[in-house]
Amino acid sequence: MLEPFFRWCESTALGRAVAESVWAFPVLEAVHLIGLCVLGGALLVVDLRLLGLGLTSQPVARLARNARPWLVGSLVLMAATGVPLFLSEAIRAYYNTSFWVKICTLPVALTFTFAVRERVARREADAPGATGRIVGGVSLALWFTVAAAGRWIGFS
């Protein structure tokens, strides 16, 4: 049912331009990876803290507030590079299980991060309790799934 849409994606000017260029795909991939690094750092600083690890001397709320622009910025960077990467090989993605795992987990991870985690992190002051630990663990598990499935798109 969705296949015509994926075909259309691949036929867009941006998709064609990336697919036909020698350098565009690799360069977009490299910048996508830089985004992954910043995202990983911005997530871990807060999630480790929620788990009672890492920067334990700092209030969760402060770390979350400081990390937020880097979290949002890295997600914007990953979307800005990820969308053209997808457009260039949309039909391949359509038949790729890893792509579907990634694209289905991504909205869950985003919703959890900005609806649940953000609220909990803002409320947690000094010593996160069981809720904090669960939220930190779920956040890391969700984003790990997105990243691992994303890497596996290239292998499957």
Partner 1 sequence: MIERFLGWLGDTSWSVALLESLYVWPLVESTHVLTLGLFVGTTIMMDLRLTGIAFRKVPATAFTGRLLPWTRFGFAVMAATGLLLFYSQPLRYYHNIFFRAKVVVLVLAGANAAIFHAGVHRNAGDWDEDTTPPRAARIAGAVSLTAWAVVVIAGRLIAYNWFDCDLQPQSAWVNRLAGCGVGAAGAE
Residues within the interface to partner 1 (CB under 8 A): 22, 26, 29-31, 33-34, 36-45, 48, 53-58, 62-63, 66-67, 69-70, 144, 147-148, 151-152, 155
- As a whole number of angstroms, the longest Cα–Cα distance in the chain is 53
Query: In the complex, what is the shortest distance from the CB of residue 3 to partner 1, in angstroms, rounded to a whole number?
Result: 27
Toward partner 1, which CB reaches closer, 3 or 29?
Answer: 29
- The set of residues, in sequence order, having a beta carbon less than 8 Å from that of 88 and lying 6+ positions away, is 10, 15, 16, 18, 19, 24, 25
Query: In the complex, what is the shortest distance from the CB of residue 120 to partner 1, in angstroms, rounded to a whole number?
Result: 20
Toward partner 1, which CB reaches closer, 71 or 135?
Answer: 71
Query: In the complex, what is the shortest distance from the CB of residue 1 to partner 1, in angstroms, rounded to a whole number?
Result: 31
Toward partner 1, which CB reaches closer, 39 or 106?
Answer: 39
Residue 57 burial by Cβ neighbours in a 10 Å radius (0-12, 13-18, 19+) = exposed
Query: In the complex, what is the shortest distance from the CB of residue 109 to partner 1, in angstroms, rounded to a whole number?
Result: 13
Q: How far is CA 41 from CA 59, 60, 63, 66, 101, in A?
A: 17, 15, 12, 12, 23
Toward partner 1, which CB reaches closer, 12 or 61?
Answer: 61
Secondary structure element (H or E) that encloses residue 76, with its range = helix 60-88
